[in-house]
Structure 1
Amino acid sequence: MSEQLEIEFKNMLTASEYQKLLLYFQAKEKSFFFQENHYYDTIHEDLKHLRCGLRIRIMPNSAELTLKTPLGDHLLETTDPLSLKTAKELISKNSILQTGAVAKKLQSLKVDPDSVQLIGSLKTKRFEKETKDGLFVLDHSFYGEQTDFELEFETHDADSGEQIFNRFLEVHHLMKRPSKNKIVRMLEAFSLNSPITD
């Protein structure tokens, strides 16, 4: 189990901007990896109303169950690691772990872990570049027939991180485009009401 404060800045990209940044970071095909996000909420959208997000993420060699809860201007991530086998079994059963840090956190929010169900999924082709300033991420996400491109910057300091991110946008002549969280975009793609956090 881990808990960490998520400080990140995001910006939507056009396809050509995305390609330009891949060239800037000298991205090689072997540097990319795919991940799947499977999102959960209750039938009454309790997590949406609490401004929380719950997902199982499947990566090439691991998986995790993560609950994101508001903490000031940012989000607190509570995560339980999962084996790939367990993650896939939970998804197929339309459920999450009933024990662990995430379940305990849900209970503290008065949300029964047994009451959540799968509300949608998406797949992302991801490129990451660690720098002295923080982690830059380029995402190409797929929501059924829809696709989009996004730049993320993860850092440990909100104030300096925002300055670095804004400067990066300026240097690369990238228009500022507010980025909705992936769960919101996924649900909008399927014409559903959407929770707030990714």
Structure 2
Amino acid sequence: MKQEIEIEFKNLLTTEEYNFLLNALPFPKEGKEQINHYFETESFDLKSCHSALRIREKEGKFYLTLKEPYESGLLETHDSLTKNEVSQWIAGAIIPKPNTLNRLKHLNINPTELQYFGSLTTIRRQYERNGFIFVLDKSMYNGCTDYELEIEAPSYSTGKTLFLNLLEQYKIKQKTTPNKIERFFNSK
């Protein structure tokens, strides 16, 4: 089964903070576009389980990902999709895929109850250093635009230390930062 544990630290940024970090750190000048298509049941069963389901479209490839809470991070379960399958999912013809179907069953969620709620487009810039992935995102959804710094880390303790030191170094106030799917649904 294609799964991974993701340990990440996030902070929403102002436009000024985003532009400052874009120049202060070695982010590429050009970002890469990715589109997240979000799915949920009418009664928000995934949210009740603190989970989320999306299809990510990136560089012509499509991935279905279920995110679930797991210890100090998130358990991500993935399946690949074809462009045709993505179109069917968006149109309401849910095609169960083996890895995510297994985890949805574990959460007692019936895939036939899933509905498409919309998309969020992100322009992502990232680089890697010493096992950490530094990410700078500009996201657009439902008439909103926001900016976010994200650090993916190999462990919670090293990630937290690096994240807090980076915010302090660049005098950026730590903010409560809901994940993208929460921000998407809160904007509707």
Q: TM-score, normalised by structure 1?
A: 0.89
Aligned-partner Cα distance in 2 for 1:17–1:99: 40
Against the structure 1 CA distance between its residues 38 and 94, is the aligned structure 2 distance closer, same or farther, given a 3 Å change threshold? same
Q: Is the 8 A contact 2:37 2:120 kept in 1?
A: yes
Post-superposition CA distance 1:17-37 (Å, at most 9, x none): 10011112344443x111111
1:114 and 2:109 are equivalent in the alignment? no
Post-superposition CA distance 1:95-115 (Å, at most 9, x none): 443131001110121111111
Aligned amino acid, residue 71 of structure 1: Y
Against the structure 1 CA distance between its residues 59 and 96, is the aligned structure 2 distance closer, same or farther, given a 3 Å change threshold? farther
CA apart distance, 1:64: 0.3
Against the structure 1 CA distance between its residues 128 and 84, is the aligned structure 2 distance closer, same or farther, given a 3 Å change threshold? farther
1:21 and 2:21 are equivalent in the alignment? yes
CA apart distance, 1:168: 0.8
Post-superposition CA distance 1:129-167 (Å, at most 9, x none): 111140000010111221110000001111111001110
1:1-198 correspondence to structure 2 within 5 Å: 1-30=1-30, 32-91=31-90, 93-190=91-188
Against the structure 1 CA distance between its residues 163 and 96, is the aligned structure 2 distance closer, same or farther, given a 3 Å change threshold? farther
CA apart distance, 1:120: 2.6
CA apart distance, 1:89: 3.5
Percent identical: 36
Against the structure 1 CA distance between its residues 99 and 28, is the aligned structure 2 distance closer, same or farther, given a 3 Å change threshold? closer
Computed over aligned residues only, the root mean square deviation of the Cα atoms, in angstroms, reads 1.5
Aligned amino acid, residue 126 of structure 2: E
CA apart distance, 1:45: 1.1
Q: Is the 8 A contact 2:26 2:127 kept in 1?
A: no
Q: TM-score, normalised by structure 2?
A: 0.93
Following superposition, which runs of at least 4 residues in structure 1 exceed 4 angstroms of deviation?
none
Q: Is the 8 A contact 1:58 1:87 kept in 2?
A: no
Q: Is the 8 A contact 2:89 2:116 kept in 1?
A: no
Q: Aligned to 1:58, what secondary structure does the other structure show?
A: strand
Q: Is the 8 A contact 2:131 2:154 kept in 1?
A: no
Aligned amino acid, residue 187 of structure 1: F
Unaligned 5+ segments in structure 2 are: none
Q: Is the 8 A contact 1:9 1:154 kept in 2?
A: yes
Aligned-partner Cα distance in 2 for 1:4–1:132: 19
Q: Is the 8 A contact 1:39 1:121 kept in 2?
A: yes
Aligned amino acid, residue 44 of structure 1: S
Against the structure 1 CA distance between its residues 152 and 96, is the aligned structure 2 distance closer, same or farther, given a 3 Å change threshold? farther
